[in-house]
Structure 1
């Protein structure tokens, strides 16, 4: 069974597949429940795929909002009513009286939180608002963050812990970039977005530091399509918004949105 499961996933994902299958079998065979850390969409897809393979297991997902990207999962025997279960989520509201505070971005908040020694799996979506920031966090680290997060990017901040009902979610901000490219290959489009040469973009791709739709992609010639999400470690991420008509010289018109 394990080898059959492995065949569907990238070798780098095997460690997570093992862990997720253990959660599923523990729920189905030993009636145990497991509340996971925050999972990214790819991990969520893997876990849901494994849950679907077991007739006696169900899963509940919660990330704070309907459009949440990162979510916690509660894996349990299928006879359990999961709607009433506590998913142990809190909202960390961050504010400041300094004017420069309003210029802070997603990466600034992420860096400040991880800089306190917090693991990524304890943090859900980060919502940058016009007057502050709301971060969905695991309940067991909320107090620690509220006491210790006193600055973000050298700006003094104050914090407050809210229940999940107090979450204000933000719209994703994208900087649109219009490109004309010879092909829809990953390396070509990624090179244009990051302003790296084609040869330099090959290094992170071949090192496994590039993900397409949250899955490691090591093939530079991988073709991208509308809706694909590409993340490059150290360079942020972008989404392919539209693939338009060909130019007179046979190049593709492509519009991407770079996350800011």
Structure 2
């Protein structure tokens, strides 16, 4: 009897996975190339494809919420008005759940190809040489950025296309930020940049789930989905495809 039941029970495993999520996941949309953007009327990008694969494996549906200011995303998640944030670094102080990691976040330091100094091993050397730093507001936690600012050697940008444009116009000597986003933006406009051998940050990032709107079962479903997709190589395949491609604008 047991042997006859096992095949029948196996048929229900995919159905159970499909029922894993307790609700459609509300995720804020962001134009953040190459992670999330619109191309030919379609929402695409590295983060978009990774989340689609994980959600599908976990039995979840995703809907993107537009026009959510960046500074409102965390309060909305904590209030249960959003369900998931991507590319999160675990913080024990947050009243949220964090999944297992699904990719790495890397901060890099770049210079124009014709000026790159590959013998430089630290930002401190560039500061002493009075090189102007151009950086995204995201990595402001790197302490030495404040030293560049104190000496009047700092220019901020909000989006990576603008950061590369500032380098093209000679408005900065050193570009610091998310390595993938910088490479993508530079390739899109044929701007030759060289990454310097300076180690700043390489951290795994996770999905951040709302405790107000989701359940621990949702968290477990996401963790199992990430684990299965890493084992099958699907997440690695998505990462590799996007890390080597930068379409023209």
The structure with the largest helix share of the pair is 2
TM normalised by structure 2 equals 0.26
TM normalised by structure 1 equals 0.25
The structure with the largest strand share of the pair is 1
More contact order relative to length (CA 8 Å, sep ≥ 6): 2
